[in-house]
Amino acid sequence: MKTIILKDLPKVSLNQFYAGVHWTKRKAYKDAYRLLIASQTKETFTAPCRVMYRFTFKNNALDCSNCIGMVKMIEDCLFPNDSYKIVKSIMITSEKGKRDSVEITVST
């Protein structure tokens, strides 16, 4: 089991994507995530695993289903191949906290 904590990623609600955000804005979010994650961890995962995402938000916590856009951008950075053969399941929780962060636990 491996745990990674990422801090201060941009808060992106799934509702923003449903509202028809232009592809260039989505790409900017993804690029920002890639840079921030690379600056905080060098971990990547290639073995079949289960992943738990525990989001904390200092202000205006998102409900867990609205965190899925952020999960996908994180997953694309940590898993070179995020197919069903590698990422077997995910679990998402969301809560108020002292800062914006996500604790990611990867279990093989």
Q: Compute the distance between CA of residue 87 and CA of residue 29 in angstroms, rounded to an integer.
A: 22
> CATH fold of 2-107, please?
60s Ribosomal Protein L30; Chain: A; (3.30.1330)
* pLDDT at residue 37, rounded to an integer: 96
Per residue in 56-88, pLDDT (tens digit) is 999 999 999 999 999 999 999 999 999 999 999
In contact, 2 and 95? CB cutoff 8 Å? no
Q: How confident is the model at residue 17 (pLDDT cuts 50, 70, 90)?
A: confident
Instruction: Say how many CA atoms lie within 13 Å of 49 toward its Cβ.
Output: 19
- The DSSP output letter for 62 is P
| pTM for the whole structure | 0.93
Dist. CA 6–CA 33, nearest whole Å: 10
Give the tens place of pLDDT for each residue, 43-57. 999 999 999 999 999
Smallest Cα–Cα separation from 6: which of 103, 106, 107?
103
